[in-house]
Structure 1
Amino acid sequence: MNDERLERLEAWHEQDEFEEIVDAITEVPEEERDYILVNHLGRALSNMERYQEAVEQFLSVEAEGQNDPLWHYRIGLAYYYLEQYENAREAFEAADRLEPGDEDTQEFLEWIRNKTADELTEEVIEEPVDTVHSVTETIIEAAPGIHPESTSFWNDSPAYVDQYVLSPPTDEQIEAVEEQLVFKLPTFYMNMMKLHNGGVPHYRHFAVSQAESNEKIHIEILNILGIGREKTHSLCGEAGSRVIIEQGGYPEIGVVLSECPSDSEVVMLDYRESGNAGEPEVVHVNKAEGYKITWLAPNVETFIQGLVNEENQPANLEGSL
């Protein structure tokens, strides 16, 4: 393959210019596309959520990809988002055999195991959830409507999964994170993360009342940080809560729950009233306005259920997470 073309494709990938990649490669006649070019095309199609087309591209070079762990990983990812979990499992297991210990491969295998759990687990998940149940009874009831099989709340595009989503945390991992943060995490949030540990929601806007004008504005979040330290954007990651607070000079009132599109704003769990082991409130902090703190919600559950999409339609949490 032409080195200059390869550099251009890699640059577009880093810039999330996936349409540019598809357009450039499809201009090349099919008979002139080599293995590397087809893999770039398949990866770009997956990143555009055109998973069936991606599978077709990867299968067109199946013979060449048999000993390439990256080929197995990429087609496995496309199968996963098509919900063809058996095909995905076989692909990720092949990738794991060829390149043992890859963390992303292990994460997908764990998610597949969770999604293809025994019949008892499936029956529990499929049972209707009463959204007025106590948030402390069970994982499903603790997060009303949170459903690990659905993607209508979470935007699980490959790029977002790679950047933000971790494996479900164990109780031991949660305790370790709490010890490092010096704050007890809210039960609703912990149970939510056991079903989908961090990521980018489709619903990212929250209405804020402005008492002085009686109007409403919306703050926007970029993500919800997951429990762990493996991903850069997780609670204890390299760009996690403590790092954001220290580098941004934010007030020491608790834990950063969400980053915002503006790097001068964050949404935080505020423990000033509850104490470090209590139920925190949720606030927005704006560094550009002298670290102005705006109250958003009395707890995480209320905040999550108050998120709306760009058209300002409330998130339907029943069966949505």
Structure 2
Amino acid sequence: MMTEQQILKKIDKWNEDDHIQAVVDFIEKLPDESKTTEVLSELGRAYNNLYWLDPTAENEKYLRRAIEVFKYLEEEIGDTESWNYRIGYSYFYLNDIDNARKYLERAPSLSGTQELLHYIALADKKGISLREAVKGGRGEVEYILEDFVETLHQYAPAMQARLGAPATEQQIARFQDHLGFDLPEEFKQLHRTFSGQLGQGPFFGVGQCFLNLEQIEQAQRDIVAFLEANFGANWMEKQLPEDNFMDEGEIKNQLFSRKWLPFMMQEIEGEKSYLCFDFDNDQEGTFGQLIGVTPHKDLEQYEVSFVFPGLFHWLSGTIEGIETGRMAYSEEKNTIEFLSRSFEPAYYEQEEREALEEYIKENFGQFDEVFHELVSDDIHCDIYIVKPTPERNYYTLITGGMGAYQMNIPEGFSGSPFAEMVINLPPDWNVKSEAEKDYWPMRWLKILARLPIEQDTFLAWGHTVPTGEPLEGTLFTCMLLLGTDDKKDEEAIVKLPTGKEVYFYTVVPLYEQEMLYKLENDTTALLELFSEKDIPYPPVVDVNRPNVCQDYAPIQNTGLLDQVYWAFTQEHFPGLMIFWEAVKAYNTDMENRLTNFNPFGTIFKTPKVKIMYEAWIKSKRELHDFEILANEHLLEGEPDANGLYQALIVSELTSGDGASFGALELLWLIHNTLSNKDLGDHIFFEGFDIEGYEEDGTPVLYINCGS
């Protein structure tokens, strides 16, 4: 029998992908002894969510069932915020304002509470029902437009004063007549609330201005004139190159349409871009979606892209940005500025860099040359070059800048989140050459320095990073990280004035067989072989050194994943080690010990693996470049009621080292391949069947997904 923790973990995974009916069916079929308080609370939540997925009068029965469940649990958990929020949610959508308010006010810190209380206050203020409040008024944006104006009044009153006067009904009707098609209420309500802006300066700090009805018509004329001047009278026949057009199916591939109505314009250094309502959307798009249009005389640089599902989403994001401080009024510029970005560059402070350089001089030697990085938008990674000396007869190259970035280390990691890389080269190495056979050490120091940023992961002792192709002029196909010694033969760690401890790791290139041996065994076992073969330490790159695992062939074990629990979700994992942390956490939650699991053991000794799996798709756009449909005529038939086709998909996966797959690597690649697909409620990994082998030995696997 499953434990409560295992049951709840399974429910969580279904909830993540909105497979709510699967949750209800699962809980209702559980034996009574498994229907604990927590499990029954999830049943009540699932009933609420069934209504949320299809909010019809008929489905209000689910809200009443939810209340029955929560009332049954009141004595045990009625004082918790989650219980109060969930029962308050049920009453809210049953339009019971008094009970909804009573319970929701007891859950002030939970996400979603304030939004529902906002609708309750709105219903009270306007004397309308909760359903009417949620619908949003005219065009479903009337009330959120009022919120936008009120937010400006509270946080940036000077900008509220810059909103243009509302358009009259006559002006809107005349504008509609000029266009020649009926405008939706969403657009009309925007201009009933305010139309354009006062003054010439930008409303938002990146050159963005609101447009009134006259300016919209002028913008359309300007765009058409630009297109005629650059592409001729038949510009309507032009399309964007397929490689540059990323929103096929949602937006029609065209340069412009009279049904694209700009409501904001951005001008930077003479180049104009427009945020437009798209009332000419493609089949998979949404009527009224917001798209960005940047005309350019070169089609390769002409941009048309999806931005927001609609005006409501733009307003919601803008209001949230102002309320949370990500956007704020600048009195100096009389505009609203964007104050944050998703990634801030990480650079050493002056005193930190001085301390780092002093440590390098003291422990590695004087550096006469520094390869400075001229352009960088994440870290500033210089390379310090310490020349050979009689005591250290080799070059030492050291990164300077990687350690300014705090790596995403897992919980319980005993090292530091800050690191720099070191590589030792023989004294006759041409460190000034840009030929790849000489430059690859420099290149790989920079690659490793940015890998934690690009893959949201960390690097530490014993980590290996495949190079893909052999390094130029060598047979090395992998980089191994080892510790670095200081002048006292102790671990090289510099403590900066700001308190950061930066570790130094030495980069050692490996042969393919050495990497496989290390993955199958461990780093210590490989180093013992290095010692037996008298490989010098500290390691100095020797492109002719012996391969200490020359005859090693990894043992293939296709059953390595048999005891691993996993649930496929829509989360994409950029790095293998981040994925490994997620796998360990999931198996811990499922009370499945991975004591005997070797994540890096070889599961297939082939460079490629083909997998087959079932998923629901709308079009071929959801397939990766390395995927095909088993039935190439599938999409010629009729989809189901949701517009989906049940497809058998064939994918060809390639190993990172181009030689074999580790067990964890294979599961990682399978997960990321499936992460953009709808698997229904069959999201749990239940191993694979080997369907056969192709002529070149590539195994063909069928992925079993259970519910």
TM-score by length of 1: 0.45
Determine which structure has more spread, i.e. the larger CA radius of gyration: 2
TM-score by length of 2: 0.22
Identify the structure with bigger relative contact order (alpha carbons < 8 Å, sequence gap 6+).
1
Between Structure 1 and Structure 2, which shows a larger proportion of helix residues? 1
